[in-house]
Amino acid sequence: MVEMKDKGVLFTAGLALLAYAVLSFASMAVSYRQEMNDVTYQEALAERLFSDSESAEADLKDLLTNMSGIGVSVSGSQVTFKEQLPNGNADTFKEGLTNYVRFKHTQSKNLALNVDELKNTLTLSISPSDVNYTHNTYGGREIRINPSTSVSKYLVAAQTNATIDRCEVNNPSVGSSMVLDVRVDGNSSSCYRILDVNTTETVSVSVNSGSIGVSTLPGGRLLVSNNLQNPINVSATVYLIDATEDIISVNIADGIVRASFPEYGLVKTRGVRLN
């Protein structure tokens, strides 16, 4: 009698243990599955963030290429910017940006576009040399190039329909830290100057008593200005030291595109590469 009771207890206890083991295993499987679902969901969100920001980058690049009136090309260690001064496309481009931001906002609430700097100064940066091509005001009468590392030469070519009757160099300081090559073509006349300049001083080439000015400023900065009534076409080439075409990129400032899902701690920021 006692033996049979023991057997029954053992049998029941064994089944109970088996049930407990199965239940524990199932609980683990459910927990693992839930974890996997969370990871999969976050991966899908990350994929969406990446795609949203990537398409915004492509759209902004298309907008800038098609509407800003600024051309950018890279060849060897040289980066060339072409633009009309004042830029007649500025207002159209700014309006295009405003409309694009509005459009993008209707499509993705998780995307923020900070285009203020683009509208105000339209600053383009050259990496890895960290040289900026910018404006006092985009659509204004000045173009500036601010280098933080050495630039060996600036070549500034400009075309105007005005007649050039004066071509002067102010403060032709002796120096050899940089070359300033200025070529202004006017109506049946021109102003060409190649200068070895000292980057600690201001050196200017002035056309028609300052109507068109090309200057290097302390720090190796370049300033191009047009005070003529009509716009001029400007091509500014920067010769970089220790840079080659395969590593040079021209970008709109990083952080212009910001996609995020804050509740999951996912954030993706990016700039816009133009070349």
Partner 1 sequence: MDGRGLVFTLDALVAASLVFLVLAYVNGMVGENNVGDWSGTRMLESGYDTADVLYNTGALQAMNVSWMERIVNSTTPPNTAMSMRILSYTNSSGQMMQSNTMNIGPPVPDSQAVAYGKRTFLTFKDGGVEYYNVAEFWVWSK
State which of residues 6, 75, 91, 107 lies at the interface with partner 1 (CB under 8 A): 107
Name 114's Cβ contacts closer than 8 Å, sequence gap at least 6: 255, 256, 258
**Binds partner 1 by CB under 8 A, chosen from 6, 41, 194, 242:** 41
Residue 19 engages partner 1 in binding (rule: CB under 8 A): yes
Strands 178-185 and 151-159: parallel
Q: Measured from the CB atom, is 4 or 174 closer to partner 1?
A: 4
d(CA 142, CA 45) in angstroms, rounded, equals 44
Stretch that binds partner 1, among 35-43, 150-158, 206-214, 235-243 (CB under 8 A): 35-43
Q: Which is nearer to partner 1, 238 or 274 (CB)?
A: 274
Q: Binding of partner 1 at residue 104 (CB under 8 A)?
A: yes
Report the distance separating Cα 14 and Cα 239, nearest Å. 83
Q: Would you count residue 72 as binding partner 1 (CB under 8 A)?
A: no
Nearest to 164 by CA among 129, 126, 123, 211: 211
Does position 10 interact with partner 1 (CB under 8 A)? The reply is: no
Q: Of residues 6, 71, 92, 241, which one binds partner 1 by CB under 8 A?
A: 92
30 near partner 1 (CB under 8 A): yes
- Among residues 91, 103, 192, 255, which is the contact residue for partner 1, using CB under 8 A? 103
Pick 22 or 267: Cβ nearer partner 1: 22
Judge contact between 120 and 138, C-beta under 8 A: yes
Quick count: other Cβ atoms within 10 Å of Cβ 237?
Answer: 17
Q: Which one of 50-58, 72-80, 167-175, 197-205 is the stretch in contact with partner 1 (CB under 8 A)? A: 50-58
Closer to partner 1 at the Cβ: 84 or 149?
Answer: 84
The runs of H, that is alpha helices, within the chain are: 2-67, 90-107, 116-120
Of 245, 236, 273, nearest to 146 (Cα)? 236
CA Rg, the chain, in Å?
31
At its nearest, how many Å lie between partner 1 and the CB of residue 16? Answer: 7
Quote the least distance from Cβ 266 to partner 1, whole Å: 15
Find out whether 166 and 205 touch, Cβ atoms under 8 Å.
no
Strand partners, 112: 258
Which of 49, 63, 70, 72 binds partner 1 (CB under 8 A)? It is 63
Give the closest residue to 234 by CA, choosing from 121, 78, 71, 79. 71
User: What's the CA gap between 112 and 89, in Å, rounded?
Assistant: 25
For partner 1, the binding residues (CB under 8 A) are 1, 4, 7-8, 11-12, 15-16, 18-19, 22-23, 26, 29-30, 33-34, 36-37, 40-41, 43-44, 47-48, 51-52, 54-56, 58-59, 62-63, 66-67, 89, 92, 96, 99-100, 102-104, 106-107
